Structure 1
Amino acid sequence: MKLTVIGTGYVGLVSGVCFSDLGNEVVCVDKLSEKIELLQQGEVPIYEPGLKELIQKNTEAGRLSFTTDLSEAVQHADIIILAVGTPSLANGEADLTYILGAAQEIALSIKGPKIIMTKSTVPVGTNEKIENQFKQLSVHPVAVASVPEFLREGSAVRDTMNPDRIVVGTESEAARQRIEELHRPLTDQILFTDVRSAEMIKYASNAFLATKISFINEIANICEKVGADVTMVAEGMGYDKRIGSSFLKAGIGYGGSCFPKDTQALIQIAGHVDYEFKLLKSVVEVNRDQRYNVIRKLETILDDLSGKSIAVWGLAFKPETDDVRDSPAFEIIASLLHCGASVKAYDPIATPNFRKLLDHSKVEYCSSAQEAAQNADALCVLTEWSEFRAVSPAMIQAWLRRPNLIDGRNMYSEEELANTELIYYSVGRPNMNNGVKEQTPQLSF
């Protein structure tokens, strides 16, 4: 098929590239000329494993191209894919400025019937607004479908090529058939729904996963107080097929471009129909507070953080990505600075993006993990990069001025720590806390 993808962020770029690799002719459109020029040169504006190689392969094969000219790009497309950003407004609602603006530009440009496939995450009812725009602005018939994406940054190419399911929400039989044909090489698990249900499936899925993360973090906090090990608790829970083992890893909370934005948006969607989503509000509150456990544990060890040098490993919200949107590192580093500490930070990939948003005189951005940890009063591990996992606790102890390690991602085992003198705090594993000990309360029934 001939596809035009509007927007070259994570969703649009990965989707367009993967569709071209399936043999489709794909044109990716973006208004940012510098981004398009970079892509035309075979370079990638985001870090995503495997993406650069696919771009080069399919560009050379003539199946993939990039342009800023939306009007020209949409003319010969069988399907136009909307994949522009829907960032959060100050009140948590999704900002529809970009997607409605793109739809308007398409409506004024097309010269024949089209299928519009929305992959952007949008509130329930948005695709109806898009359809109404076309009816008002264009004489050509348009079929609109909601086809939400479920890819994960860091494994986006793999997720796109091997999806758990494809959700297609449309009232058009013609659109249904063409979109099914497009996705059939990827999976037989294609669910057809009405448009509003497809829009809600995306929000409900992300909200549920965020809930699992906040739930296991709450369990971890209780484990620390009663002397249980959250890793064993999560393993025992995960064997239950009704629960499953995914998203039960305790840590410092979720971040990134999806979970924070989508949970807030769903709270607002509920509020607009006079429903208070109490559970999801608690999920957001728990996630926000979980990040500050790192600070509380540092204060337990060091008491006064003023004048202390704190090393931070990990600035991206998760490994295998350079995305720092809503990364826990922001609040943690800001809190350290507020307490009077200085920070030595390192990330294998995300440092340039993080520095653009937080350039502070008391934050030293380092070129290696060792440089960051060298002579620091404590080390905080915030992202579970494999590079950090390869460094032994004994080596960490040798680098630090004072042997204090806050492991926000439970990367290190009891065996690895056994022969060190590290004062070590993890998440929900009180049996591994060395140094300052909390007394396990005597429980009465």
Structure 2
Amino acid sequence: MHISVIGSGYVGTTVAACFAELGHEVTAIDIDEDVVTTLNEGKAPINEPGLEDLLANHAGDRLEATTSYDAVPESDATFLAIGTPSNTDGSIDLSALEAAAEATGEALAEKPERHLVVIKSTVTPMSIGEVLEPAVLRGANDNENIEVGMNPEFLREGSAVSDFMHPDKVVYGTRSEWATERLHEVFEPLLEQHDADIIETDPATASMIKYANNAFLASKISLVNDLGNICKEFGLDAYEVMDAVGLDDRISEQFLRSGVGWGGSCFPKDVNAIIAAAREEGYDPALLEATVEINDRQPERMLDLLEKHADLEGARIAVLGLAFKPQTDDIRNSRAIPTIESLQERGAEVVAYDPVAIDPMRERFPEIEYAGSAADALADADGTVVVTDWDEFAALDEEFDAMKNGVVVDGRRIIQRRDGIIYEGLTF
């Protein structure tokens, strides 16, 4: 099949590359000429394991990038993967996606055959019928051959390629058997290789499945963090407790590692968006509000533990880990951001290190010092906080001997307790 993917950010680039890997002919469309050039060179505009290999294999062959919508009417389906950033009230900004939807409709205005426009972006259920579908049809001059569907993504940064190629579920949100069959044709090469559950539903329900999925996982993490905080107060190891809890098959062992909290592009944005949408309908989502509140507290608790052992005024504090999770350079909603901000408010001098996320964090905090290695960050430090659980931090040992005051507060349980340091686990 020939598939158009509009938007070449994190989701769009991953989806386009994986569709090409499945054997489809893919046209990636983006307004950023630099991104288009990067893709056509077979390079990845983001740091994501396995993605650059796919782009190198398929660019110039099954994958082509362009700024033009000319390929849309020639394709068999079009996927919209435009970002929906948060507004100040937590709701999502649909303006860029709505503009792309209308431009897609304009490209399809004269198409005589049926065409499926698939929303891949994460959007609230009501926005599909109230904003996005009307935008597509408005652009297409109400061409009756155009249908709009929803196919939410469940990709985790750091493992997005693997998640796409080995999904737990694939959700088809459509309003006709033809549209469902068209989506099945798109995913058939994948489903022949990997057994996954197929959910066939309507577009609004498909959208809600994505929000419910992320809200549930975020709530699970915050609950585990809350329980971990309680364990810390009792002098207990939260990890030992949750290892036992995870043996209950109603709960499972996943997402039970307590720590400094969740970040990234999905959980914060999606939880805040569904909270805002619920409020707009007159419902108070108290549990989801508590989920966010608990998450926001964790960096402060980490620094409170640090301050038990070190006067932060004028202290040199190493921050290990800047990306919101390992295997990515994404700092969006990273727990390192409120950590650095609070350290500055408490009068500390910050020296930070991350294997891949220094450049994006330098744009956010140009005034702090950045080290070339974890060892350099620890040298002469009065204390350190561990925010991201990169594997290389687990190998740190003698590097702690170079600290002026060996206080280590571990927000991810990645550092081994050892002689010569004052070790505090956030929840253990």
Look up the equivalent residue of 2:23 and give its one-letter code: G
> Is the 1:163–1:186 contact (alpha carbons within 8 Å) kept by the matching residues of 2?
no
Superimposed CA distance per residue, residues 49-93 of structure 1 (whole angstroms, 9 cap, x where no aligned partner): 111111010125x100111112x1212110000000000001100
Look up the equivalent residue of 2:385 and give its one-letter code: C
Are positions 1:144 and 2:153 aligned together? no
Are positions 1:275 and 2:283 aligned together? yes
Which of 80, 92, 98 pairs up with 1:94? 92
Are positions 1:368 and 2:373 aligned together? yes
Superimposed CA distance per residue, residues 223-260 of structure 1 (whole angstroms, 9 cap, x where no aligned partner): 01112211011111111111111111111000000000
Q: Distance in 2 between matches of 1:176 and 1:99?
A: 23
Look up the equivalent residue of 1:259 and give its one-letter code: F
Q: Distance in 2 between matches of 1:235 and 1:367?
A: 36
> Is the 2:322–2:358 contact (alpha carbons within 8 Å) kept by the matching residues of 1?
yes
Look up the equivalent residue of 1:84 and give its one-letter code: I
Q: Distance in 1 between matches of 2:290 and 2:390?
A: 29
Q: Distance in 1 between matches of 2:221 and 2:402?
A: 32
Following TM superposition, by how much is the alpha carbon of 1:10 offset from its aligned partner in structure 2, in angstroms? 1.1
Following TM superposition, by how much is the alpha carbon of 1:209 offset from its aligned partner in structure 2, in angstroms? 0.2
Aligned residue for 2:74, secondary structure, equals coil
1:287 corresponding residue in structure 2: 295
What TM-score, normalized to structure 2? 0.96
Q: After the TM superposition, list the runs of 4 or more consecutive aligned residues in structure 1 that deviate by more than 6 angstroms.
A: none
Are positions 1:185 and 2:183 aligned together? no
1:307 corresponding residue in structure 2: 314
Q: Distance in 2 between matches of 1:161 and 1:63?
A: 17
Aligned residue for 1:18, secondary structure, equals helix
Aligned residue for 2:190, secondary structure, equals coil
Superimposed CA distance per residue, residues 195-232 of structure 1 (whole angstroms, 9 cap, x where no aligned partner): 11111000010000000110010011100111221101
2:83 corresponding residue in structure 1: 85
Identical aligned pairs, as a percentage?
Answer: 41
Look up the equivalent residue of 2:369 and give its one-letter code: E
2:410 corresponding residue in structure 1: 407
Q: Distance in 1 between matches of 2:117 and 2:322?
A: 37
Moved more, 403-412 or 252-261: 403-412
Q: Distance in 1 between matches of 2:135 and 2:297?
A: 42
Aligned residue for 2:189, secondary structure, equals coil
Aligned residue for 2:89, secondary structure, equals coil
Q: In angstroms, what is the RMSD of aligned CA positions?
A: 1.2
Look up the equivalent residue of 1:180 and give its one-letter code: H
Aligned residue for 1:185, secondary structure, equals helix
Q: Distance in 1 between matches of 2:34 and 2:134?
A: 33
Following TM superposition, by how much is the alpha carbon of 1:421 offset from its aligned partner in structure 2, in angstroms? 2.1
Question: For residues 130-279 of structure 1, what are the structure 2 equivalents within 5 Å?
Answer: 130-139=132-141, 140=143, 141-187=145-191, 188-279=196-287
> Is the 1:144–1:172 contact (alpha carbons within 8 Å) kept by the matching residues of 2?
no
Return 5+ residue gaps in structure 1 as ranges: 430-445
> Is the 1:131–1:142 contact (alpha carbons within 8 Å) kept by the matching residues of 2?
no
Question: For residues 281-430 of structure 1, what are the structure 2 equivalents within 5 Å?
Answer: 281-302=289-310, 304-360=311-367, 363-392=368-397, 395-414=398-417, 417=418, 420-429=419-428
Aligned residue for 1:367, secondary structure, equals coil
Superimposed CA distance per residue, residues 118-152 of structure 1 (whole angstroms, 9 cap, x where no aligned partner): 11000112221322233333243211111000010
Look up the equivalent residue of 2:329 and give its one-letter code: D
Look up the equivalent residue of 2:101 and give its one-letter code: A
Following TM superposition, by how much is the alpha carbon of 1:397 offset from its aligned partner in structure 2, in angstroms? 2.5
> Is the 2:378–2:400 contact (alpha carbons within 8 Å) kept by the matching residues of 1?
no
Following TM superposition, by how much is the alpha carbon of 1:330 offset from its aligned partner in structure 2, in angstroms? 0.7
Moved more, 84-93 or 41-50: 41-50
Q: Distance in 2 between matches of 1:269 and 1:22?
A: 36
Return 5+ residue gaps in structure 2 as ranges: none
Look up the equivalent residue of 1:367 and give its one-letter code: G
Q: Distance in 2 between matches of 1:43 and 1:59?
A: 9
Following TM superposition, by how much is the alpha carbon of 1:413 offset from its aligned partner in structure 2, in angstroms? 4.0
Look up the equivalent residue of 1:132 and give its one-letter code: P
> Is the 2:317–2:350 contact (alpha carbons within 8 Å) kept by the matching residues of 1?
yes
